[in-house]
Chain A
Amino acid sequence: MFDSLSDRLGSIFERLRGRGALTEIDVRAAMREVRVALLEADVALPVVKDFIEDATQRAIGAEVIKSVTPGQQVVKIVNDCLVDLLGGSDEPAPLKIAVTPPAVVMMVGLQGSGKTTSTAKLANWLTTRERKKVLMASLDVARPAAQEQLRVLGEQTSIATLPIIAGQTPVQIAERARQSAKLQGFDVVLLDTAGRLGVDEALMAEMAAIAGATTPDEILLVVDSLTGQDAVNVASAFKERVALTGVILTRMDGDARGGAALSMRSVTGAPIRFAGVGEKIDALELFDARRVAGRILGMGDIVGLVEKAAANFEAEQAEKMAEKLAKGQFDMDDLRQQLAQMKKMGGLSGLAAMMPGMGAAKKAMDTGAINPKLLDRMEAIILSMTPKERTKPEILTAKRKIRIANGSGTTVQDVNKVLKMHQEMANAMKRLKKMGGMKGVMKMLAGMGGAGALPGPDGAAPAGEPGGAIDLGAIGRMFGRPGMGSLPPGFNKFGRK
């Protein structure tokens, strides 16, 4: 999501590393680069100015003394400022829908920002996660087939939509939607409005009229994360006319540098609630300021990775893994299981994007430089081993390796790579054991300001987390970039080498 910006900041702080003290000149030089990086990342100019001022003030002076190295200190300060700007370290407040039903949620935004899709995603979220009975209504009488689009989405997700009556005005539809929701016992009614430009007086007035008629409990501004400098104008235009209570950032799965995320909160004052991360109906996530700030700084989306791993990891497997972990054993079958797990989590490209410093690998994969079939091939290699070889890979002789290579349609070098990866992972597992198993990992994550967001990890389930994370370090090394994917235990390992 923020690959390019993190690359940029990474190279800036690279230059700062290794110097004895952080002088004002150093800070100003770094901040000039940060400024350009932020502008290139489409952060709105006024927001950039405030940010640079704030970060510079924080960086010069007493805080420097505490630093281990100047670069780390600047990283920490920029990170803190970013987190603040993005909405602080608290989770976004839940939607205010625990009211006398029906709660009214109104979606507003420019044309093409993703309102209709976000409406369906949010309805799906409220239905599946919060067990709410949701009614969706399209108030978009401007775009041809917009109402039809929401109806189809409702059908696909089995979420009720308001029957379409041709010729009604948006305000009439909104009132009808609220009435129907009330009579039919819906908990929440989502109003999907037409896209409108901030400079279009008639449509902005219409939006205010809808809000006036339905007194929504939430008014969410849907913003495309590809948005450029105009983000400021959009945010203020909508904020002027309706009481925005939150923001949904869409297309966060794109490769935009995502400056809109930084601009939105500071201009609207409303929290960024959700991020749209894909075309599928469940591709909606709670917005996490710390996570996004961490990615900007090139620390990778560790928390996201861990959450994703935890959600995918079957409890049973996790228990077995935990057992083996406790004994410090990790054989080829475990590696294969891990690979299968990774495939489930969205393959390499999905994971690589979340790992620190893996942006380059992801780019290489997207352009086809690295074969995304890598996981399949590695699996084939392991499957070509005998059970005995899998439990005791050390018995593999040159002859056996040739057989395995032939059996899997790969080369001996490939077989060696898998073995090396297994070795590294086994070592990592041992280290992990020394650190005190799960708790050590959690502590490590906490050091990065990540663990707070983890869902109460007791028992066996979190066993999947270190597995998922460490695998990738090894995979990163397989790409021939030593240390690229290694898990950074806090700031002291920041930067790439």
Chain B
Amino acid sequence: MSWFGKLTQGLAKSTKRLADNITGLATGTLPLDDERLDEIEEALIAADLGPAVAGRIRLRLADQKFAKGIDAAGIRRVVAEEVEQVLTPVAVPLIISRKPQVVLVVGVNGSGKTTTIAKLARLYKAEGKQVMLAAGDTFRAAAIAQLKIWADRVGVPIVAGEQGGDAASLAFEAVKRAQEDGIDVLIIDTAGRLQNKAGLMDELAKMKRVIGKIDPTAPHDVLLVLDATTGQNALSQIAVFREVAGVTGLVMTKLDGSARGGMLVAAAETYGLPIHAIGVGEAMDDLQPFTPADFAAALVGATD
């Protein structure tokens, strides 16, 4: 199946309810009155866009004149356009241009960092790049074993230490190895941490500093992995991880579930950080480039 098919299939599953909400409210061509605007706003809130963004989209819709009224498909189209407009500037793929390009992957516990790393490794390997992984989650039990298994399956080398070891020195070691071995992409895993734990966030800042000692330009990318199931707390995650770890881009996982990931819209409005990719399944090739038009269309349940 093409990546486009995967994306729409994954998102279609996840957005059925939103589509139901929007289509369910209008049969035939009707004026876009307050009641219909209310329902659109609520449908957007239910997709995790947050009350503020939903309110703004509602206002923009209300400003437009639909003299002849508008049908369900029309509503979906204009809502999708609004969403797409917000997302288009942030749809930027992760380009590998350095050697070695050091990619640090961060996020809260359970957001899907390790799985995303495996998918990224596979993607870049398929492009013919030399990929290396570093098992920087030295905290969670068996996290190292988990990444080792992935490295085996993908067929890329991995730098790993002991559980309970110092993540920063492991990262240092990995960057050194990557330089020596002529690696194109080094992807470093980190332990999951809640962004309000100052001590753990400091550790992350330290890890970044230590990497910078061996290559002042590294890490070149700091990816924040967001779980689509997360609600408005995602914004707090972006704010703090950006501040502490200098996040340069986002990856959203678990979009193949019933969550719709609407807070990406709020995130794009507030922070404008690039959205590099989305995860739409458990299989290795279920990491897809982020395409605003498709995402917006799927979010509002447009079928074409």
Contact = CB atoms under 8 A, between A and B. Distances in A.
Given A199-B13, A255-B236, A228 B258 contact: no
A494 B17 CA distance: 40
B189 interface: no
B236 A368 contact: no
A129 interface: no
Q: Give the bracket for the number of chain B residues in contact with chain A.
A: 35 or more
A374 to B, nearest CB: 14
Contacts of B233: 42, 226, 228, 254-257
A184 B227 CA distance: 40
A433 B202 CA distance: 44
Interface stretch (B44-52, B126-134, B207-215): B44-52
B142 interface: yes
Interface in A237-281: 237, 251, 253-257, 259-260, 279
Contacts of B236: 255-256
B257 A198 contact: yes
A280 to B, nearest CB: 11
A226 B231 contact: yes
B108 A254 contact: yes
Contacts of B227: 112, 224, 226
Nearest to A148: B142
Contacts of A45: 42, 45-46
Interface stretch (B66-74, B93-101, B190-198): B190-198
Contacts of B13: 199
Contact of A197 (B17, B198, B258): B258
Interface in A183-200: 197-200
Interface stretch (A137-145, A380-388, A395-403): A137-145
A231 B14 CA distance: 13
B51 A111 contact: no
Contacts of A144: 145-146, 149-150
Q: Give the bracket for the number of chain A residues in contact with chain B.
A: 35 or more
Quick one: which of A142, A152, A260, A279 has the most chain B CB within 10 A? A279
Given A145-B146, A148-B145, A228-B232, A254 B194 contact: yes
A423 to B, nearest CB: 31
A476 interface: no
A376 interface: no
B163 interface: yes
A229 B260 CA distance: 9
Nearest to A41: B232
Given A144-B145, A144-B150, A226 B257 contact: no
Contacts of B139: 279
B196 A254 contact: yes
Contacts of B198: 349, 365-366, 368, 372
A255 B196 contact: yes
A110 B108 contact: no
A114 interface: yes
Quick one: which of A197, A228, A253, A257 has the most chain B CB within 10 A? A228
Dominant secondary structure of chain B at its interface with chain A: loop
Contacts of B262: 229
B230 interface: yes
Dominant secondary structure of chain A at its interface with chain B: loop
Given A230-B48, A233-B17, A366-B196, A224 B230 contact: yes
Nearest to A353: B196
A279 B150 CA distance: 25
Contacts of B141: 148-150, 152-153, 156
A213 interface: no
Given A42-B231, A145-B149, A229-B231, A198 B45 contact: no
Interface string A146-179: 1011111100100000000000000000000000
B167 interface: no
Interface string B109-150: 111100000000000000000000000000111110110111
B112 A112 contact: yes
Contacts of B258: 197-199, 230, 233-234, 237
Contacts of B143: 145, 149
A124 interface: no
A41 B14 CA distance: 22
B221 interface: no
Interface in B42-67: 42, 45-48, 50-52
B194 A253 contact: yes
Interface string A84-123: 0000000000000000000000000011111000000000
A152 B196 CA distance: 27
Given A112-B112, A149-B142, A142 B232 contact: no
Interface of A: 36, 39-42, 44-45, 110-114, 142-146, 148-153, 156, 197-200, 224, 226-231, 233-234, 237, 251, 253-257, 259-260, 279, 349, 365-366, 368, 372
Across the A-B interface, the 3 shortest Cβ-Cβ residue pairs? A228-B231, A112-B110, A42-B231
Interface of B: 13-14, 17, 42, 45-48, 50-52, 108-112, 139-143, 145-146, 148-150, 163, 194-198, 227-234, 236, 254, 256-260, 262-263, 282
27 contacts: A36-B51, A45-B46, A112-B227, A112-B254, A144-B145, A145-B149, A148-B141, A148-B145, A149-B140, A151-B142, A199-B13, A200-B257, A224-B110, A224-B227, A228-B259, A229-B260, A230-B48, A233-B258, A234-B258, A237-B258, A253-B196, A253-B197, A254-B233, A255-B196, A255-B233, A260-B231, A366-B198
Given A152-B142, A199-B14, A230-B231, 13 more contacts: A41-B232, A45-B45, A112-B109, A112-B112, A145-B145, A145-B146, A198-B257, A226-B229, A229-B45, A251-B108, A254-B108, A255-B196, A279-B109
